[in-house]
Structure 1
Amino acid sequence: MENDSQADVSETGSVDKDVSAESGSGRYGDSDVRNEEDSSDGQFKMRPHVRDRFRPGAVKDVIHGVLREELAGKVYAETDPSLLSSSIAQRVKRKVMELGFPRYKYVVQVILGEQLGAGVRTGTRCLWDADCDNYASDVYIGDSIFCMAVVFAFFAY
């Protein structure tokens, strides 16, 4: 299934300043056993249990917190956009992995730019399973800087 997601950020600056992506994977540990053999007949589960599904609301809260902590009081001219966007992507990925969604792989995309009063529109297309895969995003707009972070979560079969 193909999914289109768009984020419209009004009153923001140019987006060509920096784009950073970071990918990662969910944890493969003892907690995965309940997903693989959750039924009484010991069959492998191709879908996550309801309690183990990716929750966009919880991930949006994580993204929101990281963006506020990293960007509060920052001035665009004083920051190195590539280092800052990489740092944000890594921190978001680490905190999302700590939420413990078993057998999920993550891709984190961060767009950072100077706030100049123009508008920005982004779009993303990907093929995924609409029953298991999902995404979460959040936007930070400051006096001189804007940032959008998106986490894509894919269930590993």
Structure 2
Amino acid sequence: MLPGDLAHTARVAVRSIVLAMLTQDDVRRIRVGWQWDGADLHTVIRDDGPGRLDGVLVLGQLSERLRLRAGQLDLEAVPGWGLTARITLTLGATPLPAEDPLAPLGARELEVLERIAQGSRNRSIADDLHISESTVKFHVANILTKLAVTTRTQAAALYHATSA
């Protein structure tokens, strides 16, 4: 039986990679394969996109989280054939205490991030929080910088990963 903490870590990692892959143009299919041998969980995620790493998968934080869980992330790009991400997690590896990645955010930035994670657009966030749309844009830019991500989707995935 697959331990819950290992399954949760794998689910978060796969979700982050799938969301990052979906930001590419021309991706029509993503395949995820899982293999559990009783000691290691191996996951392979493949897409049929353009096969370029430049600016597509900014997964430094995810790599660090997996490393802290004694896991590994390998990326391979084949131009014209797509991207392949391989994740390996080991049972019994003791996770090191990790700092909350949302800790650098202020209260208002957390409110904005929560609404981004719900799929709200800037206008809707501005209306909900009774602030201007340009203030929302300012907060979004700060959130992306503080979380070291490049897209709203990656910020939302990180929010869901830490609040799950």
TM-score by length of 2: 0.33
Q: Which has the higher strand share?
A: 1
TM-score by length of 1: 0.34
Q: Which has the higher helix share?
A: 2
Q: Which has the higher contact order (CA 8 A, sep 6+)?
A: 1
